[in-house]
Amino acid sequence: MTELWLVLLSMSLIAICGAFVAVEFALLTVNRTMVEKKAQSGDKVASGILLALKSLSTQLSGVQLGITITNLLVGFLAEPAIARLIAPQLTLLGCNEVTARGIAVVIGITLATMVTMIYGELVPKYIAIIKPMEVARRLQAPMRVFTYLALPLIKVLNGAANFILRSRGVQPQEELAVARSADELLSLVRRSADKGTLAQSTAQMLERSLTFRELTAVDVMTPRVHMHMLSEDASINDLLKLSSKTGHSRFPVYAKSHDDVVGIVRIKYALRVPIAKRSSATVKEIMAEANFVPSTIELSSLIEVLREKNR
């Protein structure tokens, strides 16, 4: 009868271990932005989750302490109890006492380990990954209470771990990094598009925006042979005709050859020229000075340059 009670107690400990595992994965996967919004709207449970997230390193240390304690207790209670329940049955099957005890111990260890692994770790982990917010709401309060009660021991363990990290040149952090790099966001956009949760057109727009920082002027330049250019001696009417033909509103202006760009002419300045003078006035009279930049300049810097020069 005592062995049965020990097995039942062990099952309870496995359930507690599962709770520790579940809250660990819930805190790691829960959407912090959503938690912050709920907390700001007055949700007290969400405020509790946010407190746990702000002391995540301490909470996870408490989780690991809880998992370790429960696993040790399960091993201490369940394995010998199961062995004592099985050994007499093996003796009845013809095994001698020593052999029966050895086989029973192996079976006890195997059963206790399998049950702990399945119900104390794997199942809770999957539930927390699937429903992190629900799990966090249910378990954040008891987790924070346990961490508070075990705080002295946790501080000692954290201090030792942090000392080792610093000695290796790693700076410990209390909170999980919330900000994501452009590469991480790009990967997220592509996965979302592949899974169909993000429209392809939207994904392409976001991808172009995120890869914008990697582009330089040479990536967006129009080859010279494809450019529509005007000689500095061309008339305003020539400019208007070229604009009507191409749909463009600005053109490079060259002097002796296409390699000798001397300015940029814009259609809006041409329209200010009186109609009577458009056949005689040249684009040289209304062109602006050309702005030259290296082909390796980043697009973000190029935009700033063009903005300053009002190009």
**Both tokens of residue 104?**
């029973």
**Both tokens of residue 184?**
């991480």
The yes/no answer on whether domain 218-309 falls in CATH 3.10.580.10 is yes
**Cα dist from 211 to 13, 45, 179, 301, whole Å:** 50, 39, 18, 15
pTM of this prediction?
A: 0.60
Domain boundaries, the chain: 2-167, 182-214, 218-309
pLDDT in tens, 79-95: 878 777 777 777 777 67
pLDDT in tens, 234-283: 999 999 999 999 889 889 999 888 888 888 899 988 889 999 898 989 98
**Sign (positive or negative) of CA dihedral 26, 30, 32, 37:** negative
* Residue 288 φ then ψ, to 5°: -105, 160
* Residue 248 φ then ψ, to 5°: -90, 155
Contact 52, 35 (CB under 8 A): no
